[in-house]
Structures are given as C-alpha cells and as structure tokens.
Structure 1
Amino acid sequence: MNDAPRSVRIAVGLWLAIAVFVLFTTAGLWFQRGEIERLSGRPPADVTNFLVALTVVAVIFAALYGLLTRLLVKRKNWARVALSVVSIVHMIWLLLVGVSTANLVVLLLICVAIVFTWQARTAQWLAEVREQ
C-alpha cells in the first residue's frame, strides 16, 4: 500500500470510512429505538424486526466493502468492478429505505469513492501488476 498512488489511498480510506459509518449509523438506530417506536406508531416487535433487518444489511455491506477494499489494495482489478456494483446496490437500498441525513452522507461518500476508484492513476497502478 505504501507504493500506491494518492488516488488509491484516498479510495481505500473512503471505502473503509463508508463501512464504519454504516455500522455506527445502524448501531445508533438501536439507541433511538424508543423514538422510532413513538414516531412510527408501530409495535415494539415490528421496530425490532426492522432494526434487525437493517443491521443484517449494514453488516453485509460493511463486510463486502472491507473485503473488496482489501482485494483492491492487493491489486485485484476486478475488485474495482465489484466495489462499484456493491456500491450501486447499496445506493439503491438507501434510496428504498428512505432519505435521511446519514443516508445522504453515505451516498455522497460512495460517489466520491467511486470517482477515486476509477481515476486513471488507479487504473495505471492496477495495470502495473499485469505488466510484471
């Protein structure tokens, strides 16, 4: 990773930041469970089921980001494509769940991470492995 260009280091940092932010945001929802029950008017069991589903999805996305970022650092070119596909699915998921400040932050981070992941210097760095 020390030989990686700045664009790669920024992309890696952004992907990992997204994973951590998603996990912390989801954990924060558990602390606001009572408020969610009050605002939604749903029974506690429904809110719990909703939070469990959100948590499972968040852990899956965070794990995928972590794994694929690690593979990107190992110069696996296909990891770039996989990160992009996972992030697009994640963006669709966020839009389906609903608009919130946290979701908008994640959407913005994903967009910036994709830009750095697909910069020419990143592609060149990944191609150097194939040339050796």
Structure 2
Amino acid sequence: MNDAPKPVRIAVGLWLATAVFVLFTVVGLWFQRGHVQELTKWSSDQVTSFLVTLTVVAVIFAAAYAWLTRAFLRRKNWARVALSVISIVHMIWILFLGVSAANLVTLLLICVAIVFTWQSRTAQWLAEVREQ
C-alpha cells in the first residue's frame, strides 16, 4: 500500500471503516434489544429474528468489503467495480430498513468511498499494472 496514491489509501480506509462501522452498528442493536422491542412492539422472538437477519447481512457486507478491498489493493480493477456494485446493493438494503443516524453515516461512508475509488488517480494506479 506504500506505493498507492493518496486517493487509493483514502478509499481503502473508507471501505474498511464502512465494514467495521456496519459490524459495530449491529452489535449496538443487540445491546439495545429491549429498546428495539419497545419501539417496534414486537415479541421477543420477532426482535431476535430481526436482529439475526441484520447480523447475517452485516457480516456478509463487511466480509465482502474486506475481501474486495484486499483485491483492490492488489490492483484488481474488477474489485473496484465489485465494490461499487456491492455498495449499491448495500445502499438499497439500508433504504429498505429506513432512516436512522447509523444508516446515514453508513450511506455517507459508502458515497465518499465510491468517489475516491473512481478518481482518475486511482484509475491511473490500476492501469499501471496493465502497462507492465
């Protein structure tokens, strides 16, 4: 990563921050389980089912971000495309869940990561491998 330009390093940091933030958010929801049940008026089983689903999805997204970021650092152009596709799916999932402060932070992280991932300096850095 030492030879990577600043936009690449920023993009990598943002993708990994997104992965970590998503996991911390879902862990936080487990600690607020009672509050979730109180707000939704769901039974304990419904809340558990909801949180398990959120946890599975969060782990899948976090793992995808981590794996694809690693490939991106290895200068795989397909990883840049895949990160963008996964992040769009993630944003749709977030919009499906509804508005919350954590979801807005996640959306912001994703949007800024996409911007840095697709900057011209990043494209040049990826193209250098194909030229060698």
* TM-score bracket relative to the smaller structure: over 0.9
Instruction: Work out the CA distance in 2 between the residues paired with 1:42 and 1:4.
Output: 49
Instruction: Work out the CA distance in 1 between the residues paired with 2:79 and 2:39.
Output: 40
Shift of 1:34: 0.5
- Structure 2 letter corresponding to 1:51: L
Q: Equivalent pairs: percent with the same residue?
A: 76
1:56 maps to: 56
Instruction: Work out the CA distance in 2 between the residues paired with 1:41 and 1:108.
Output: 30
2:93 maps to: 93
Instruction: Work out the CA distance in 2 between the residues paired with 1:69 and 1:92.
Output: 20
1:3 equivalenced with 2:3 (yes/no): yes
2:65 maps to: 65
Mapping 1:1-40, distance limit 5 Å: 1-40=1-40
Shift of 1:38: 1.0
How many residues were matched structurally? 132
1:122 maps to: 122
TM-score, normalization: structure 1? 0.99
2:106 maps to: 106
Instruction: Work out the CA distance in 1 between the residues paired with 2:78 and 2:30.
Output: 35
TM-score, normalization: structure 2? 0.99
- Structure 1 letter corresponding to 2:83: L
- Structure 2 letter corresponding to 1:75: R
> Partner of 1:102: helix, strand, or coil?
helix
Q: Cα RMSD between the aligned structures?
A: 0.3
Instruction: Work out the CA distance in 2 between the residues paired with 1:131 and 1:78.
Output: 16
Instruction: Work out the CA distance in 2 between the residues paired with 1:19 and 1:31.
Output: 19
In structure 1, the gaps of 5 or more residues are none
Shift of 1:39: 1.2
- List, as ranges, runs of 4+ consecutive aligned residues in structure 1 with deviation greater than 3 Å: none
> Partner of 1:88: helix, strand, or coil?
helix
Instruction: Work out the CA distance in 2 between the residues paired with 1:122 and 1:26.
Output: 31
- Structure 2 letter corresponding to 1:57: V
Shift of 1:43: 0.4
- Structure 1 letter corresponding to 2:3: D
- Structure 1 letter corresponding to 2:31: F
